[in-house]
Amino acid sequence: MAINKALDLNDITFTATERVIPKKMYRYAVAAIFFIQGLAFASWASRIPTIQQTLNLSDSALGGVLLALPVGLMVSLPFSGWLISRAGSRIVVIIAAMLYNLVLITLGLAETTVALMGGLFLFGFAGNMVNIAINTQAVGVEALYKKSIMASFHGVWSLAGFLGAALGTIMIGTGIVPYQHFILVLILAWSVIALSSRYFLREDTNKQENQSIFVKPDKSLIHLGIIAFCSMICEGAMFDWSGVYFKKVVLAEKAWVGAGYTAFMCTMALSRFLADGLTRRYGLKRILQLSGLLTAAGLAIAVLFPNMVAAIIGFFLVGAGVSSVVPLVYSAAGKSKVMSPGVALAAVSTIGFLGFLFGPPLIGLVAGATSLQVSFSIIAVMGLSIALVATKAKI
């Protein structure tokens, strides 16, 4: 007789096929998708200079082209949550992850600016659908474990980013053109999806099938969204401006311009693997408060003491600070009592990604009117805001 519901019995769960599956297999399957997503994105990022040269794009033209990706991401946010609430995260993960890696190849084949922008729009659209769906799966797996494990999934994404960047360097060094590089990533990704899909959860937690495509988040989700917004502004600053800061403010030698970004990424990846244990021990609110304070302190050190050693230490602290904010916010949003996980995650992501989208250009505007140190001081205030909002929020 078939068993229709998944039952958690210590270290095992039963599926509809009556086959005993260790719950760790669900965790491995979800982690595998985080890995291939991080690998695909890093593979694209590593070949941007090559594609820029191939299409003969100026820096300003490239900046305009790259905006197509976050636009696609933002457009997909409400649709992703609605689709997951209707069809379930499992099927959305499978289809969107396959599409995401397929679109990656079109970026390597693009021969015109319009084609590249169209590909980037679809890349952002599909990528965010995978993001929301796989985080919904992660919420369900977290429920099986009955403890915080969300940050470790995002740690896998960061680790894949390092490996993707290294793979890109090898491909460039051996003369492999982007589309051939991306075909290899596609083959790996589709193989992982095929092997992992049998271990995705078939039912999402707190599933609500008849939710509207546009749902107003409640107060607790708005607070989580604001925390994500402040954190993503800080992340965006590190991704887009850390090298510029080290070059123009720290006055680093050419070989050391990337030292701040490297410091940030190292502690960001490492801290994500530590965050779940710390959250279980000290609680979500305290970890978010600490994260905000570390972010603010790190940026303050880099602004007040713009020398090589101090700035690297500051960026180390920023990496540790922002590392666990978004994963923990996603985990909390997925436990919403008024929305299904997919819709709740989409609502929080919508608010959060506004910071990632508009934060870096704002830094440039303020820096143009004043200085980069003033811009980074404002970002430090965003870090402090994470701690303040977390203190006020009921989480």
Same fold, 7-199 and 219-392: yes
Band the pLDDT of 393: cuts 50, 70, 90.
Answer: confident
User: If 0-12 CB within 10 Å is exposed, 13-18 middle and 19+ buried, where does residue 310 land?
Assistant: middle
Of 191, 200, 195, 190, the closest CA to residue 30 belongs to 200
Answer whether 395's CB lies under 8 Å from 220's CB.
yes
Sign of the torsion formed by the C-alpha atoms of 186, 162, 69 and 272 = positive
What was the pLDDT predicted at 108?
94
Tell me how far apart the alpha carbons of residues 366 and 378 are, in angstroms, rounded to a whole number: 9
Please tell me which residue, 342 or 84, carries the higher pLDDT value.
84
Domain ranges for the chain, please list them: 7-199, 219-392
Sign of the torsion formed by the C-alpha atoms of 323, 72, 196 and 213 = positive
CATH domain 219-392 topology: Growth Hormone; Chain: A; (1.20.1250)
Q: What is the residue type of 117?
A: M
> Which residues sit opposite 9 in a β-bridge?
12
Distances (CA, A) of 175 to 86, 116, 172, 300: 45, 21, 5, 42
Residues 166-191 have a mean pLDDT of: 93
**Displacement of CA 134 from its chain's centroid (Å):** 11
Q: What is the residue type of 95?
A: I
What was the pLDDT predicted at 61?
82
CATH of domain 7-199: 1.20.1250.20
pLDDT value at 70 more than 50: yes
Please tell me which residue, 104 or 59, carries the higher pLDDT value.
104
Residues 256-273 have a mean pLDDT of: 89
Of 122, 363, 334, the closest CA to residue 235 belongs to 363
Please tell me which residue, 91 or 239, carries the higher pLDDT value.
91
Answer whether 384's CB lies under 8 Å from 282's CB.
no
Of 149, 153, 184, the closest CA to residue 47 belongs to 184
**Looking at 151-155, 268-272, 339-343, which range is the least confident one?**
339-343
SS3 12: strand
pLDDT value at 104 more than 90: yes
Residues 362-380 have a mean pLDDT of: 89
Share of the chain above pLDDT 70, in %: 92
Band the pLDDT of 14: cuts 50, 70, 90.
Answer: very low
Band the pLDDT of 46: cuts 50, 70, 90.
Answer: confident
Of 271, 272, 264, 273, the closest CA to residue 236 belongs to 264
pLDDT value at 240 more than 80: no
What was the pLDDT predicted at 150?
93
Residues 202-228 have a mean pLDDT of: 75
What was the pLDDT predicted at 200?
95
Tell me how far apart the alpha carbons of residues 135 and 160 are, in angstroms, rounded to a whole number: 17
> Which residues sit opposite 177 in a β-bridge?
none
Sequence-distant (≥ 6) Cβ neighbours of residue 225 within 8 angstroms? 217, 329, 347, 348, 350, 351, 352
What was the pLDDT predicted at 277?
93
For residue 334, which phi and psi values (nearest 5 degrees)? -65, -15
Query: pLDDT tens digits, residue range 75-90?
Result: 898 888 888 888 899 9
Band the pLDDT of 3: cuts 50, 70, 90.
Answer: very low
**Looking at 250-264, 299-313, 351-365, which range is the least confident one?**
351-365
State which H helix or E strand residue 362 sits in: helix 341-369
> Which residues sit opposite 14 in a β-bridge?
7, 20
**Whole-structure pTM over 0.85, yes or no?**
no
Please tell me which residue, 347 or 195, carries the higher pLDDT value.
195
Query: pLDDT tens digits, residue range 115-124?
Result: 999 999 999 9
pLDDT value at 132 more than 60: yes
Mean pLDDT, the chain, rounded, equals 87
**Looking at 178-182, 211-215, 325-329, which range is the least confident one?**
211-215
Segments in 58-209 forming alpha helices (H): 59-66, 68-87, 89-109, 113-145, 150-173, 178-196
Of 172, 52, 189, 50, the closest CA to residue 127 belongs to 189
